[in-house]
A and B are shown apart, each in its own frame.
Chain A
Amino acid sequence: MAGIQIYGAGRAGDGTNTNIQLLTQTLKDTGAWTFSWKDEVYSNIETRDSGFGLRASDKPIFGPDDEFDILEAFDAGALVDVANEGRIPPITRLKDGGILLYDSTVRLDYPNSGKEVKLEAVQGLIESKKLRVMGLPMGQMAKEQLNLYRARGTIAVGVIAHLTGMADDAILERTAKRFGADSDIYKMNAQALSIGRKYAEEQNWAAPELKVNFTPIPNDQRQIMLGNDAVALGAIVAGCRVYAGYPITPASEVLEFMADHINKFGGAMIQADSEMAAAHHVIGAALAGARSMTATSGPGFDLMQEAISASGITETPMVIVLCTRGGPGTGLPTRQGQEELNEAIFGSHGDIARIVLAVSEPEDAFYVMEHVFNLAERYQCPVFLLQDQMLAQSSYTVPELDPSGFVIDRGKLLSPEQFAERYGDNRNGRRYKRYEVTEDGISYRAIPGTPGVTNFYSNTNEHTEDGYLTEEEVHRQVQMDKRYMQRMELIRNEPQLPQPRLYGDSNAKIGFISYGGTYGPIREAVERMDAMGVKAKFMELRTLWPLDGAGVKAFIDSCDVVYVPEYTAGAQLRGLIQREATGPLPKLKSILRYDGRNMTPGWLISRTEEAKVGN
């Protein structure tokens, strides 16, 4: 895999994210597949260290690599643990022989003055890693020549362009499109690039091994997208017309996307007063007959448990996109985690028929929304879609997305015509019953406000077929059998539950089973192990509940050892597999990461027994 990895380290407010996004967009526009991620973002608003990474490759990539080629150091935090708090600075992940491009001038602007980059503290590291150190007086040049300190990042881009062979036109194309080639901002950026380029030439800086040589794609319809953008877009195409949510990291981008777009399609975005309210708005909209959804993360999901329980007993379709992070409590709001798995499957009181799906990259996240909404309406139950923080908030180059294939199946929701045909004016003896016991075990839904629908009664108390409160055992037994026993059986046999995806050599005796954001790192780990002469294979789970125990067991049976990488301390996924597929099994081995940081291919390999053999 040919490609490059660049890391920008600054302080919040430095424009480091913008800098990395500019480089990412340029690389994508010149034909690369990119992945860029928020590597280090603190959940606070003071100006803290911040780090953003990008990876560009000649084939699709889905996660960060272990090390990077270039470190742009805008701030002392790139090299040292400024506050002496145990933070591991990004320079430790710069590869041997990598390039350290740093601002060699004093930091000029509030609030970051005094955090200038000093090499003394890392001299040993520079020598041991044989780093190529490039001191660029970017702050001073930006201030003196451009009269704008924040333009220093673009001067650094000029140097990177010189080193990697990116053309100015490619970098400036979007600025030209957005602001015009005669705009001041375009001129300023062009000038900044040329200042950087010129300086690099004067210093004879070169890195021939980092020359990028991607092939531009004619009429390129790929686009850069966050996981959160992809699910929101997929939801709109799937017919979601009411979105309710409460801002929470790492799910807020879904809410913002809906705020921007859902009303164009006649829908409404409700910014709720809490997640408790949001989840109940979703239920209300679903009772009205609209497709509705919310997105949240752990603490918000905690608050939604009550509504999930209501959805369960009232058989009201409910879609929750659950962007997982590190818990418990407030935990690690902006960091990677998958600690909500057990809660998604076992949360809320009462036995509830439910479906829990997971996605691992934005393309899948977009297309899966078709099934998420269809399943929720077909089985009149809650459906949770898990995507972890890395996926939710990272930018991926995504192939052209095609909305035309979405099929909308609303299950047993009666249109006004169907309702009239079945029940007439409700007085012909065939009275509508919301919880009618039917042959297939699923009752008809109707749309209040359409002709004849005058006794749609949905009840969170145990109820009769009509929806009226009851505690009698005959009704209880019949309703519970219908909405839980029979429903889960139907769901288990549903062909549209997303199937696992398998990678690697099917004869391999070393297996990986995982889901979500571990997908990219595991795939690359399998490839690298193969290059080491160690055959491995990977089963990516996309339906977590109900888990296909037999399928998972067959995969495990075909292996001598199966690693289960996950972002939990409690081995929640391994626990689920043992519960549903194998029982306690020594050859299932957890690889756990719960420090909030992303798994990388090399890190994964280093956690396997085979690494010892391979090395």
Chain B
Amino acid sequence: MATSDIAITPITRADITGESAWWCLGCGDFGVNSAVQQVIMSLVNEAGVPLENVFALSGIGCSSKEPDMLRVNAYQGQHGRSLPVAIGLAIANPGLKVMDFGGDGDTYAIGMEHFMHSIIRNVNITLIIMNNQVYGLTKGQASPTAHSGLRTASTPDGKKGRTVNPLRLAIAGGAAYVARGVSWQRNELVEIILKAVNTNGFSLVDVFSPCVTWHREPGIRGSGPIFDWYRQDYAIDIKDAWQSMRDQVFTDDERAQLPVEYDPRSPEAALNGLRLISEAAKIGREVTGLLLQDDSQPAMAENLGVSADRAPVFQDIAVESNLDAYKALLAGLR
């Protein structure tokens, strides 16, 4: 890989700020964008990651405007298809820090095939979802994460049927890192995303990023009230969830064996996390926080025999450099 002869200079937010704001005033996505810029600054200025190694992708939807909000290497793709593009990038050049941005429709509906297989392949990328339960860009239809009963343009009588829980799917698929952030707590979100980027393997950061225009609860609409609804009626912090599960659900035997604090790195984190999600769902809540971190499994690149030091993109493909090997390959087939 080529080494840089340009000294890494500290970057400012302005250096990585793009050209336009596409979101409604008060949209949760602004909070996510702010955290993401903070993460990139931290990577470059503190961890010494060259900015040229950062690559952002997205699909289609409000959240997928994120690359337009940045000024980094990026690809804005078609609806649901950013993950397979991210895989191609991460395999061709495993040295890249790949961040893929999507929404709940983009990733959990039209992109679900790629979501599950990216997890199963354990490709080393960070997927950041701005989850708001609705399709904002097409004016408010229900998305797969819309909660039961939610009234939208496509569910006038309230959402029926099941709600996709991406955390559950990611844990079940064997993701290396599974977390849920909230757009209104920037410092925590920065920490969660930074950890995700530094975890080798597939990382999911699903972020509650409220839609202030189209997500309407009975008697509640607009920026302040919908954020309050999330805080008060929908999200439950993992520490609180664990505590109440210990107190109210666990048997005495279980309590004796399980840690006081939830531990995302414990070998039982997958089972505990799934149990937490289920228990929270019983009371109509969704867990927030870091559920799972396990980077012990080989990532996709390792399984394919490539790495940052042996990146397909940096192979010398000049014929004269490979001629003997090509001739040997031909002779072997003869």
Contact = CB atoms under 8 A, between A and B. Distances in A.
- Asked if A and B are interacting partners, one says yes
Interface of A: 221, 223, 225, 229, 233, 236-237, 239, 241-242, 244, 261, 263-270, 272-274, 276-278, 280-292, 306-307, 309-310, 314, 401, 403-404, 406-408, 416, 420, 425, 447-461, 464, 466-469
Closest 10 CB pairs of A and B: A284-B88, A239-B317, A280-B84, A288-B92, A241-B312, A266-B315, A285-B92, A281-B88, A284-B85, A290-B92
B6 A425 contact: yes
A203 B50 CA distance: 81
Interface in B1-37: 1-6, 18-20, 22
A404 B51 CA distance: 38
A449 B93 contact: yes
Interface in B92-143: 92-93, 95-96, 113-114, 117
A278 B74 CA distance: 20
Interface of B: 1-6, 18-20, 22, 50-55, 65, 67-68, 71-78, 81, 84-93, 95-96, 113-114, 117, 301, 304-306, 310-313, 315, 317-320, 322-323, 325-327, 329-330, 333-334
A453 B52 contact: yes
B306 A266 contact: yes
Nearest to B57: A284
A467 B20 CA distance: 12
Given A273-B113, A408-B317, A466-B19, A284 B329 contact: no
A280 B52 contact: no
A266 B50 contact: no
A460 B77 contact: yes
Given A280-B81, A307-B81, 20 more contacts: A237-B322, A239-B317, A241-B315, A242-B91, A273-B114, A274-B113, A277-B84, A281-B91, A287-B75, A288-B92, A288-B93, A401-B330, A403-B326, A404-B319, A408-B319, A449-B73, A450-B52, A457-B67, A464-B19, A469-B22
27 contacts: A223-B334, A233-B329, A233-B333, A236-B329, A241-B317, A265-B322, A266-B315, A267-B306, A277-B113, A277-B114, A278-B84, A284-B87, A284-B90, A288-B93, A289-B93, A292-B92, A406-B319, A448-B93, A449-B53, A449-B55, A449-B73, A452-B6, A454-B51, A455-B71, A458-B75, A460-B76, A460-B78
Instruction: Output the residue of A265, A425, A454 with the most chain B CB within 10 A.
Output: A454
Contact of B92 (A233, A284, A407): A284
A263 B84 contact: no
A468 B19 contact: yes
A204 B148 CA distance: 85
Contacts of A416: 2
B96 A449 contact: yes
B92 A451 contact: no
A5 B122 CA distance: 51
A368 B232 CA distance: 64
Contact of A459 (B76, B301, B305, B312): B76
Given A454-B72, A455-B73, A289 B18 contact: no
B73 A451 contact: no
Nearest to A456: B73
Contact of A310 (B20, B77, B318): B77
Contacts of B19: 464, 466, 468
B6 A242 contact: no
Instruction: Output the residue of B306, B317, B329, B334 with the most chain A CB within 10 A.
Output: B317
A458 B67 CA distance: 10
A165 B330 CA distance: 30
A268 B329 contact: no
A201 to B, nearest CB: 34
Nearest to A243: B312
B305 A272 contact: no
A236 B326 contact: yes
B319 A458 contact: no
Given A408-B319, A451-B2, A454-B51, A280 B113 contact: no
A448 B311 CA distance: 13
A461 B3 CA distance: 33
A278 B312 CA distance: 17
Nearest to A268: B304
A452 B95 CA distance: 15
A281 B84 contact: yes
Nearest to B301: A268
B77 A280 contact: yes
Contacts of B67: 457, 459
A139 B317 CA distance: 52
A375 B96 CA distance: 27
Contacts of B304: 263, 268-270
Contact of A314 (B4, B5, B75): B75
Contacts of A452: 4, 6, 52
Contact of B325 (A265, A314, A453): A265
A162 to B, nearest CB: 28
A236 to B, nearest CB: 7
Contact of B313 (A306, A447, A453): A447
B248 to A, nearest CB: 41
A402 to B, nearest CB: 9
Contact of A280 (B65, B72, B88, B90): B88
B313 A288 contact: yes
A184 to B, nearest CB: 25
B201 to A, nearest CB: 17
Given A285-B89, A408-B319, A469 B76 contact: yes
A288 B74 contact: no
Nearest to A459: B76
B330 to A, nearest CB: 6
Nearest to A454: B51
Contact of A283 (B18, B65, B88, B90): B88
Given A223-B333, A448-B93, A453-B52, A237 B114 contact: no
A289 B326 CA distance: 22
Contacts of B95: 449
A264 B22 CA distance: 46
